[in-house]
Structure 1
Amino acid sequence: MFGELTDLKSLRDATNAVDGVIHTAFNHDFSKLKENSEIDRRVIETLGEALAGSQRPLVVSSGTGLVDRSRIHGLARETDKPVSSALFPRAATEEAAASMLAKGVNIIVVRLSQVHDTEHQGRLAEHIRIAREKGFVAYVGQGENRLSAVHVTDAARLYRLALEKGETGAHYHAVAEEGVPMHAIAAQLAESLSLPVRSISTEEVEAYFGWIAALAHVDLGASGKATQTHLGWLPDGPGLLEDLRNMNKG
């Protein structure tokens, strides 16, 4: 549907007329992350309240990066708990989903990894912008921290399967590649952008990466094996490095 995320009446009216909802909209103006995250909380609550008392499904979008990494070792899994929104505002999505689940809503959470194709690189678009500005592509230390990834067409099929077959309260991971090392990502970006690549120290991270510095050396590996088993989801799209190799450089 067309409309604004703040137009809750239109969202409510549209939800009353459908058999299920897939919610993927989010304002990615990260200068207003807390405000936009709270808007998403209200959207999910509005959609959930409209669906309450029925078994009509509501599929909402979160991210594998919202898993509380302090509680795990290795790959983030579907059963892992999210961080608090007090720590990272974007987790308001997961909190709203839990609230609606407690009210009996048939809610399902899809946690996205790095979604990509040759036109869109998600979070890596900021890496590309910074690299062009600084004149080189950087990774931190040995660049062994990882980024999980999924092609956009595979992610789209997962949403459909979650809507059709998902279990109430389940978390599904849109992960085709569990962990692509950042040094490999940086090397491919450097080749695609015709720029040099180099390692930087932790002391240099903030000066180079700016507002995404906190994520630059975090390991964001995640597993989607349980999702693939439970939903029969078999991702087969191009890998992240392949799409970065063939990306539109405009």
Structure 2
Amino acid sequence: MKVFITGITGYLGGSVASRLKAEGATVTGLVRRADQAELMEAAGFRSVIGSLDDGRLLAASAALADVVVNAASSDHAMAVDALIEGLAGTGKTLVHSSGSSLIADDAHGEYGDRIHDESTPLMPVPQKAHRLAIDTAVRRSAFRGLRPMVLCNSLIYGEGLGAKKDSIQIPFLAAQASRSGARYIGPGRNITSSVHIDDVVRAYHLAIERGRSGAFYFVESGEVSFGDMVRLLNRLHGHPADGSWTIDEASAVLGNEKARFTFGSNTRMRGIATRHDLDWTPKGPTALAFLSDRYAK
């Protein structure tokens, strides 16, 4: 099986690529620079030098593959259009990676009780409407003669399998905790679904193997509040457990969208179709168990 993957130098893409290579696939990754190409090829991958703005290159690379995995960006519409164009009429597979801010609220750290599964109508906040439009375009591309699906990942944790070992949210909080104490936004009662990286890469493998054309799958294995993660990390690093900052303070450091829709929101999902269609059962440790093991002194 020949796979073309965007984001191969990143945490998610590198992990998925490593799993597929281990399963015997020939994996080609999109990289930006010659030095990255050398590193990827030394690791047993093939490479194409370019960017997500190189529509012709993406379409041509997709056309040469049996499976295409977009793990570079959930929000680059032109790149997704190019990958669809390269696969149109071939019956081949496109797996597009979406993210949980698709279902984020604007809670500023307050608790939210809204829970989505794959049958729940999606009504993103205005700032994330473009992500739903891209996901919808991917799913509808089934009518153009390819086999597309969308995997919407929750907060991912665990050691990556590729060149990049760390995810985004938890390492940031851990770094905060190691310096002067991690902080949650507002009261820290907001809840996120979460999933271990090993379970994520298995979901991608199973989606390629047996996923339904046009399907949308949530990838999650449980829930955790940002307050609980921060308090645990602070205790492990010897700081007072509770630490809060306002949305404005967080925005000044993280940027407005990341503060509101990554660290300050509720993103609660249930992967019912993921478990049913893919026969996927998560096996990794919970987020708090991972934190206790990874950051214990």
Normalised-by-shorter TM-score class: 0.7 to 0.9
Alpha-carbon distance, 1:98 to partner: 4.4
Which one-letter code corresponds to 2:59 in the other structure? Answer: R
CA RMSD in angstroms comes to: 2.9
Shift of 1:140: 4.0
Are positions 1:214 and 2:253 aligned together? no
Counterpart residue number, 2:16: none
Quote the Cα distance in structure 2 between the aligned partners of 1:104 and 1:246.
46
- Cα distance in structure 1, aligned partners of 2:104 and 2:247: 22
* Structure 1 stretches of at least 4 aligned residues deviating more than 4 Å after TM superposition: 81-86, 129-133
1:168 matched to 2:213? The reply is yes
Contact 2:101/2:128 (CA < 8 Å) preserved in 1? no
**Gapped regions of structure 1 (runs ≥ 5):** 27-35
Q: CA deviation at 1:141?
A: 4.9
Q: Does 1:149 align with 2:191?
A: no
Distance 1:87 1:102, change over 3 A: farther
| Pairs aligned (count) | 233
Displacement of 1:175 in angstroms is: 0.5
Residue pair 1:41, 1:96 contacting (<8 A) in 2 also: no
Change beyond 3 A, Cα 1:182–1:218: same
TM-score (norm 2): 0.68
Residue 124 (1) aligns with residue 170 (2): yes
C-alpha change, 1:197 and 1:90, in structure 2 (3 Å) is farther
Q: How far has the Cα of 1:227 moved from its partner?
A: 1.1
Q: Aligned partners of 1:85, 1:102: CA distance in 2, in Å? A: 28
Shift of 1:78: 1.6
1:11-46 deviation per Cα after TM superposition (whole angstroms, max 9, x unaligned): 2222222222122123xxxxxxxxx93xx2111111
Q: Check whether the contact 1:75–1:221 (CA below 8 A) recurs between aligned residues.
A: yes
- In 2, the alpha carbon distance for the partners of 1:196 and 1:208 equals 19
Equivalent residue number for residue 32 of structure 1: none
- Give unmatched runs, 5+ long, in structure 2: 1-28, 30-46, 107-111, 160-164
Do residues 60 (structure 1) and 122 (structure 2) align? no
SS in 1 for 2:152: strand
> Matches of residues 163-242 of structure 1 in structure 2 within 5 Å?
163-177=208-222, 179-200=223-244, 204-208=246-250, 210=252, 211=255, 212-215=258-261, 216-242=263-289
